[in-house]
Chain A
């Protein structure tokens, strides 16, 4: 008689492991299943095998609809089967099942050959999920900054909201995403270095590509550098007389997008 532990280990292996060499289930597990009615013991185990895969396939299809569309249903299913065998869920919530899917796709030689942009498309879809339920924040409002005395501006520091990710890709991945589910023909997709920020404002997830100037500025904001340091660092990028204006307009856009929270003392701005 199998102990509870042995039974559970063998049951899991039957459901989630690779099929045995003979294609059948573990004989000790089969023997432990009671025979009844017209359904065989193997068919009864098979119900659980099918449900396990169907549930994870559903979850991954929901998480990666555009990746699934580019792959086609049959190929997506085959890759999901290989993925969940290689990376069974380790989290109580199925919400996390796709965490390693992009890396898994990147490790598949045929994907690199035929659909090289696909891992980054998966990263973008996963990034959107991550920001969807990332921690809330209170982004700084323009009105708060308007009250800031000019002499305090150089020391103002910002912090990026938690519901924001930046994706670096060799492909225009945001354009591929915007094309819908498989709308662009893969052979027409050409590589182009792209940086995309993905963020949540309210309950809505957005994404936008970042140009070189914005990327440089973003790096300084992420480091928590004050406004003055930001301007100094970006000075070589544009005419000296325009740098404060350029940085200010960039800040304005980020604030309108709800991307920043203040790191300086609230009292400074509310007093």
Chain B
């Protein structure tokens, strides 16, 4: 589906000085595409430096692919220009909606898993891929509510969108876990239902326990149950480029890298075990 790049680090403004002086080392960098849809200054200069250090991957947060508004052509134009300039290894965004009536909520809102939403999203993903001239990876989001009129399970919806739109999946293992706890489904069943050939990237992240629900906060280390689920993902999907997201209370660059290294070690352990079993 996508080249295996190893274990990347999400590039955030706190770590820009490390990119600028060339001391930020990672297999690859993931950047939030919208942060670079500017016309000049430090962000674009940093991105040029980052590109010289390691491959780039663009992760969008505002495509709003599930919205019933028309696709934002100005946004797609900016995204395509950014892709032409920086040549990311791939691009991704979320299976959600975040705008309506021309207004953006800057959040990843849940879709109902209905045939209507499925047809709508499939058509939109195809349009986006046509516009930017490359395949999109769609990420499953954490959610705090589901809809009574959904007729498909989330994993069925995601798998079907990927197949029918011919796009890839960015599997966020933390989001699967958070939503599983919030809605009472089995995260193992979720992972087992996904088409292995379409998993192009994996996300890991920390979350917060709010007592009666989990919140996807990206402000801490990856939790033990999410690491366990990641082990299963490696067994099911093999070697997939993986990234630990850390977006709030961001620690030093080395701390984020240490999480990426932990993921690398787990991946190696699981693949070694799988090799031993098959030998």
Bound form: Cα–Cα A89–B102 in Å = 8
Bound form: Cα–Cα A200–B149 in Å = 53
Decide yes or no whether A22 CB sits under 8 A from chain B. Answer: no
Contact mask for chain A residues 130-158; partner B; CB cutoff 8 A; 1 contact, 0 none = 00111111000000000000000000000
Bound form: Cα–Cα A37–B182 in Å = 8
Interface residue ranges of B94-153 to A (CB < 8 Å): 97, 99-107, 109, 111-112, 114, 116-117, 120, 144-150
Closest to A137 in B: B40
Cβ-defined contact, A8 with B145, below 8 A: no
Quick one: which of B66, B104, B212 contacts A37, CB cutoff 8 A?
A: B212
Contact mask for chain A residues 85-107; partner B; CB cutoff 8 A; 1 contact, 0 none = 00011111111010000000000
Cβ-defined contact, B100 with A135, below 8 A: no
Across-interface contacts of A95 in B (CB, < 8 A): 34-35, 38
Closest to B16 in A: A203
Bound form: Cα–Cα A5–B111 in Å = 11
Decide yes or no whether A44 CB sits under 8 A from chain B. Answer: yes
Across-interface contacts of B62 in A (CB, < 8 A): 92-93
Cβ-defined contact, B101 with A37, below 8 A: no
Bound form: Cα–Cα A59–B212 in Å = 27
Number of A-B contacts defined by CB within 8 Å: 135
Decide yes or no whether A48 CB sits under 8 A from chain B. Answer: yes
- Of B62, B148, B183, most buried by chain A (CB within 10 Å of CB) is B148
Cβ-defined contact, A90 with B184, below 8 A: no
How many of B's residues come within 8 Å of A, CB to CB? 48
B28 to chain A, nearest CB (A): 23
Quick one: which of B35, B41, B42, B112 contacts A7, CB cutoff 8 A?
A: B112
Cβ-defined contact, A12 with B105, below 8 A: yes
Bound form: Cα–Cα A263–B184 in Å = 66
Cβ-defined contact, A8 with B213, below 8 A: no
Bound form: Cα–Cα A4–B123 in Å = 15
B198 to chain A, nearest CB (A): 24
Interface residues of B (CB under 8 A from A): 34-35, 37-45, 62, 64, 66-68, 72, 75, 97, 99-107, 109, 111-112, 114, 116-117, 120, 144-150, 182-184, 212-213, 215
The 9 closest A-B pairs by CB, nearest first: A92-B62, A133-B38, A44-B145, A136-B40, A203-B42, A133-B41, A47-B144, A88-B103, A135-B39
